[in-house]
Every structure is written in C-alpha cells, then in structure tokens.
Amino acid sequence: MPDYAGDGGPQAIVEVEDGQSLTEIGATLARQNVVASVRAFTRAADADPRVRAVQPGFYQLRERMSGSAAVARLQQSDARVGHLEIRGGEQLDNVQLPDGKTVPGLLAEISRASCAMSGEKNTCVSPEALRAAMDQTDPRALAVPNWALDPISRVDPRRRLEGLLVPGNYDVRPGSSAVELLGQVTATSMTRLLADGFPASASGTGHSPYEVLVIASVIEREAITPDFRRVSRVIYNRLTAGMPLQMDSTINYPLDRQEASTSDADRARPGPYNTYLNVGLPVSPIGSPSAAAIAAALNPDPGPWLYFVKCQKDGASCFSVTKEEHYAAVRDAAARGVF
C-alpha cells in the first residue's frame, strides 16, 4: 500500500463535497497528490472514525502527506478555509456600532474566506477588489437573477448586491477571482431563495420580488423577530397611505452605522435612502433579509397601525394607530429608560 511519510510539503486546497464517502474523499486527495493512495487514507480513517464527521467544504492540506497526517489535519479547526456565515441584517460594508466597535461587512467576510495557501501563493482577494468587481462587472456574470436586473440598475454599483445575499453558511473556493467569489455566493443565495418559493411567492403582495427584499431588509433592522409581521404591516399601511416610511435604519444605512435614532441633520440630508424626505421604499435593500423577515414581508399581520417605537428593553415595540398614541408610547418608553 503506497503511503507517504510525514506531514507533507507544498500547500494544497482540497474540496470535500457533500455526501462523499471516505473512499471518495481519499480518491480526491490521491488525485491532488495529497496522499499516495486511497487505501493510505481509508486505512488511517478506519483507525480514527472521528474523521467521518468532516463537513463539506474546502480544506487546507499539503501535498505528500501520510494517510494518518491527512486524517488528522482534516479534523483541525484551522484546516477549513473558504467558509463564511451571513447573518440577518448584515450589510456589504463594515458597520460602526454605537459603542465604537466595528462589525465586518459581507465584503470583508468574503475576503477573509477567500484566504488560503496554494503552493506558495496566498489566495486572498481584498474587499476593495470585491467592491470593484461588483461595480464594474455585468450583474449577470455575478449570478444576479433576471427579476433583479432592472431594479439594481438604479442602485449605486458599489451596493448592487445588497440584500441579494441571504443569511446562511457559504463555502467559496479559495483561489477564485473577485468576480467568481461574488458569483459563488450570489448563486448559492438565489438557490436558497428559490427553494423557499421566492420570487414566485411575491406575486400576491402588490410589490415586485426586489421590493419585497427591500421591505424585508427594513423589517430586519427595525424590529426583533416576534414583531416582524406587525412592522411589515406598518410599512404596507404607510405605503398605501402615501406616507413617508420615516425609518431611521434607512438613514443610517449609507452612513454605515447602526444607531437607535438619527439626528435632525441626518434626516435632512437628501438621498435615495432618506425615508423621511422621500415617499416610498429606499432604492435597495439595506442589509441581508432573513427567511423570517422575508416571510413577514410576504405576509404582514392584519392591523391598522401606522407607527411603532421600541418600548421594551428587550427590543420589543409598541404599535399605534394615531400620532397621539405614538407620542404617548414614545414618552412612556423614554421615561422608563428604554432609550
């Protein structure tokens, strides 16, 4: 049985595909000269059954590893590369929190996931390169679906994928170009939306699929999950009434920050995300909408509410029909130290 000795030589990136058996993984490793033979790997795997739990994805190994070294390496926490998790409400760019901390944006996370070693070459693609690719590439080459092509033509190209990358776990192939990396994440995201019945599910809302994602992204940033469907109703009611949405989250979005409130100067600054000055929806989503937020945008609670304010310290909101009720809820929440 051919087997190498030791921990190997040049760096290699190997993909473990979903559903592969240990024999199939061994065949992949042998093809890339990571192990000398399939049997060298499977024999070592038989001695260490924990390797059966290895997850699909990309792994940093080395050429000419012993079977046992390859089995051990696959289980090390730093072996997996190309992996990222998108969470609800995250946006493309980094965001500054009120306490001064910075939350990495999706471009920074995709950049981090792109980093591995192939031979002597570092595969990292910078956030700036990803942003330039988004700006300069035909959206169809980034896997943007037909239903989104027209609305994103009116979006700043540096933001055109905002809201199209839904929450979940993703694997990108280190060594890919900036265009390929963005396309891999977008294509996976669109597959997940399709699996949930989207965009067909948007047909009964009176809004386009892209507008539903815009609504969902605002819901995501404005409320906690139990309040999603009521916030959705407020948005629909305001749109129907021709009222501006007056959502602070949309004001903060182009400023790359998350605040509970906004200043008079911020609200007076014109722009496509100013829902105090503009009637209607912002020009694009303001973050990644979760499945729960999309469901709320598709199916808002019935109700007459036109206003809401966070009135509990756990983030829950109070909903009102009239300005007088709303202002009373605001005063009460302020008096109780909610904000």
Which pLDDT does position 260 carry in this prediction? Answer: 61
Statement to judge: residues 292 and 221 lie in one domain: yes
Residues of the chain with pLDDT under 70: 257-261
How far is it, in rounded angstroms, from Cα 287 to Cα 15?
30
Which pLDDT does position 86 carry in this prediction? Answer: 97
Q: How crowded is residue 143: how many other Cβ atoms within 10 Å of its Cβ? A: 18
Structural domain includes residue 2: no
Are 185 and 252 in contact, with CB atoms under 8 Å apart?
Answer: no
Task: Tell me the pTM.
Answer: 0.92
Structural domain includes residue 251: yes
* Closest alpha carbon to 133 in 143, 142, 146, 124: 142
How far is it, in rounded angstroms, from Cα 272 to Cα 155?
9
> Count H helices, E strands: the chain?
13, 11
Number of domain units in the chain = 3
Statement to judge: residues 215 and 311 lie in one domain: yes
Q: Which residues pair with 16 in a beta bridge?
A: 57
How far is it, in rounded angstroms, from Cα 106 to Cα 241?
35
Q: Helix H segments across 101-223?
A: 106-113, 127-136, 146-152, 178-195, 209-222
The residue segments making up the domain with residue 229 are 204-335
- Per-chain mean pLDDT for the chain: 95
Which pLDDT does position 128 carry in this prediction? Answer: 97
CATH code for position 38: 3.30.1490.480
Statement to judge: residues 76 and 100 lie in one domain: no
DSSP 302: P
